[in-house]
Copies of this chain bind each other. A is one copy, B any other.
């Protein structure tokens, strides 16, 4: 899929008896069903398959509810949840860019921008701007809520990798030090969660679920 992909509803438009604004909103809400088909690298803990972006976004939202008390700066929980709900929507057309992938990040920003314009542009202008602002806020990490949302995005696959006894920690050429470097932004949101994150990586390294940290030095 990309920003020239036809809409899901092109084949089955909603009845045109529905009031125009609401019809646009419902058409958008059908289109975002595609998030359920965007696969991430992370293996589920509960089944033998990879996670999709919609499940992942739900999981982050649950983590915000349960872990908000560990935020080092006060956060608005409802707002933080909104950030995680929308943070991956652009992947509907731009695809998932694996965190340990060497080259795919190059044109990621461009692809994601085109995707945002297509997808959010389906909504009435006021709501397009609202969702776009949430996505921009998440990406910029300049608010306590965005930093906490990003920390959840880093911590969740770590829990799944633990359960998989390695998972993407064992991606080609990656060491425990690389994992720590990519997870360090958890510490921008919460010292307590970053401490736990480091304990999980250290124990994974000890058990051989991540390559020794010094392998690339």
Q: Do A29 and B199 have beta carbons less than 8 Å apart? A: no
User: Which residues of the other chain, B, contact A15 by a CB distance below 8 angstroms?
Assistant: 199-200, 202-203
Cβ-defined contact, B61 with A81, below 8 A: yes
Report if A179 contacts B (CB, 8 A). Answer: no
Chain B residues whose C-beta falls within 8 Å of the C-beta of A17 in the assembled complex:
199, 203
Q: How large is the interface on A (under 10, 10 to 19, 20 to 34, 35 or more residues)?
A: 35 or more
Q: Are the C-beta atoms of A19 and B196 separated by less than 8 Å?
A: yes
Q: Which of B51, B78, B86, B203 contacts A36 (CB 8 A)?
A: B51
Nearest chain B CB to A79 CB, angstrom units: 7
Residue of B nearest to A60 (CB): B58
A155 to B54, alpha carbons, bound, how many Å?
18
The yes or no answer to A192 lying at the interface (CB within 8 A) is: yes
A82 CA to B77 CA in the complex, in Å? 10
Task: Spell out A's residues near B (CB within 8 Å).
Answer: 8-9, 12, 14-15, 17-19, 22-23, 25-26, 28-30, 32-37, 44-47, 51-52, 54-55, 57-59, 61-63, 65-67, 70, 76-79, 81-82, 85-86, 123, 127, 131, 159-160, 162-163, 165, 192-193, 196, 199-200, 202-203
User: Can you list 27 A-B pairs, Cβ within 8 angstroms, ordered by A?
Assistant: A12-B163, A14-B162, A15-B202, A18-B196, A19-B192, A22-B192, A25-B67, A26-B159, A29-B59, A29-B62, A29-B67, A30-B159, A35-B58, A36-B51, A36-B59, A54-B54, A54-B55, A54-B58, A54-B59, A58-B61, A61-B61, A62-B86, A65-B85, A65-B86, A77-B78, A78-B78, A81-B82
